[in-house]
């Protein structure tokens, strides 16, 4: 566990480096976002340093956020826990998803809990880092780990989706769009059906990669998650042979729920094994976290 000493967290790393491991990158961002570094030595300095560790595919970088804007973004009620921490700890190992990151880069995931004081409850976050290479024209940087997203307990609100959007006409037109909910579900279902392709337990790693912090499965490593799928109740997820969309599935797949400000979507899929007469419905509930659609829960009917 790491904690502030006398309310101060030193800034040991001021920018990314090919020599930094994923946990070192996370610790560097955490230090930059600690209140003792918000405005020292200059206004919004900590947020400026944190932005340096973000991948080009992070939504703040996509929207060309400045330190002041990033500060406002992080001060929202459901995100402020990430900048008001006084102690944090890593939960479980770093989980690597080989060759499946943006532009073919590797991805890693790390669970991290944080809280503002010893008397408060821990808040869970899951960090996604990608191995990124920067092209400066005259030279190309060595691969280095950068933060693409931080998934916190609470999903995005509709305001989050718009918050970092550039006000300039046409700006951000080349921004990476988040995968739609059904695309995420299809990707996970096909990965689970081919569990060990292209390497052992790839399907389980892919599934946990798309689990939200609200989903307890996000805390499991691929080996443990795969064992859960041996249960007869869940086995259909790895044994299905035929898949169809539910004709009664209604609503905008990428919209926010109409009865709440959370960006939430339910996706229903019908599956069955060869030789079975009837379909089994798998109902997936997803929410947006840091601009990414992640799985909160599933129900097999």
Query: What are 45-79's pLDDT values in tens digits?
Result: 999 999 999 999 898 888 888 999 899 888 877 78
* 187 belongs to a structural domain: yes
Are residues 198 and 112 both part of a single domain? no
Q: Which of 246, 279, 66, 76 is nearest to 159 (CA)?
A: 76
Helix, strand, or coil (residue 162): helix
* 3 belongs to a structural domain: no
103-139 per-position pLDDT tens digit = 444 888 898 999 999 999 898 888 999 998 776 566 6
Are residues 115 and 58 both part of a single domain? yes
Beta-ladder partners of 287: 264, 294
What pLDDT was estimated at residue 207? Answer: 92
Contact by Cβ (8 Å): 256, 224: no
* Cα→Cα distances 227→94, 121, 197, 222, Å: 19, 30, 17, 9
- Percentage of the chain with pLDDT > 90? 46
The count of other CB atoms within 10 Å of the CB of residue 24 is: 15
What pLDDT was estimated at residue 79? Answer: 83
What does the DSSP 8-state code read for residue 174?
Answer: T
134-179 per-position pLDDT tens digit = 765 666 678 899 999 998 876 666 555 455 554 444 433 344 456 7
Q: Which of 156, 187, 212 is the last residue of a domain?
A: 156
Cα 47 to Cα 11: distance, rounded to the nearest angstrom? 12
Are residues 221 and 148 both part of a single domain? no
Are residues 148 and 219 both part of a single domain? no
**How many domains, in total, are found in the chain?**
2
What pLDDT was estimated at residue 177? Answer: 55
Are residues 69 and 120 both part of a single domain? yes
Are residues 86 and 216 both part of a single domain? no
Q: Which of 25, 42, 32, 26 is nearest to 9 (CA)?
A: 32
Cα 214 to Cα 106: distance, rounded to the nearest angstrom? 24
Are residues 284 and 151 both part of a single domain? no
pLDDT, greater one: 267 or 137: 267
pLDDT, greater one: 178 or 194: 194
* 126 belongs to a structural domain: yes
The count of other CB atoms within 10 Å of the CB of residue 178 is: 17
* 257 belongs to a structural domain: no
Domain of residue 84, CATH code: 3.10.450
Whole-model pTM over 0.75: no
Q: Both ends of the chain: CA-CA distance in Å?
A: 41
Contact by Cβ (8 Å): 244, 212: no
Are residues 30 and 110 both part of a single domain? yes
* 166 belongs to a structural domain: no
Q: What's the whole-number average pLDDT of the chain? A: 83
Are residues 205 and 282 both part of a single domain? yes
Are residues 209 and 129 both part of a single domain? no
205-229 per-position pLDDT tens digit = 889 889 987 888 887 888 889 999 9
Structural domain span for residue 19 = 11-156
Cα 168 to Cα 152: distance, rounded to the nearest angstrom? 29
- Percentage of the chain with pLDDT > 70? 81
Are residues 24 and 122 both part of a single domain? yes
Are residues 202 and 291 both part of a single domain? yes
Rg of the Cα atoms in the chain: 20
pLDDT band at 29 (very low <50, low <70, confident <90, very high): very high
What pLDDT was estimated at residue 5? Answer: 87
């Amino acid at each position: 566990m790491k904690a502030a000493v006398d309310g101060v967290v030193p800034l040991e790393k001021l920018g990314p480096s090919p020599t930094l491991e994923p946990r070192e990158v996370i610790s560097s961002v955490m230090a930059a976002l600690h209140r003792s570094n918000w405005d020292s030595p200059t206004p919004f300095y900590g947020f400026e340093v944190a932005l340096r560790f973000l991948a080009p595919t992070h939504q703040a970088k996509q929207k060309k956020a400045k330190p002041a804007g990033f500060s406002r973004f992080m001060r929202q009620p459901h995100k402020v826990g990430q900048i008001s921490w006084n102690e944090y700890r890593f939960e479980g190992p770093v989980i690597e998803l080989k060759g499946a990151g943006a532009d073919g880069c590797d991805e890693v995931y790390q669970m991290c809990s944080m809280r503002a004081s010893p008397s408060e409850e821990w808040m869970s976050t899951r960090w996604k880092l990608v191995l990124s290479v920067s092209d400066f024209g005259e030279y190309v940087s060595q691969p280095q780990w950068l933060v693409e997203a931080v998934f916190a307990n609470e999903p995005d609100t509709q305001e989050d989706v718009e918050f970092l959007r550039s006000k300039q006409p046409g700006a951000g037109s080349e921004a990476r769009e988040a995968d739609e909910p059904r695309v995420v579900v299809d990707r996970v279902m096909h990965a689970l059906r081919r569990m060990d392709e292209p390497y052992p337990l790839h399907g389980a790693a892919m599934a946990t990669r798309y689990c939200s912090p609200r989903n307890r499965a996000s805390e499991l490593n691929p080996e443990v998650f795969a064992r859960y799928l041996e249960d007869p109740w869940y086995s259909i997820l790895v044994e299905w042979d035929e898949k169809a969309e539910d004709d009664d599935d209604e609503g905008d797949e990428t919209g926010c729920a109409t009865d709440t400000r959370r960006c939430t979507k339910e996706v229903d899929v019908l599956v069955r094994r060869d030789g079975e007469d009837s379909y089994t419905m798998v109902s997936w509930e997803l929410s947006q976290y840091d601009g990414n659609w992640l799985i909160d829960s599933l129900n097999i009917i």
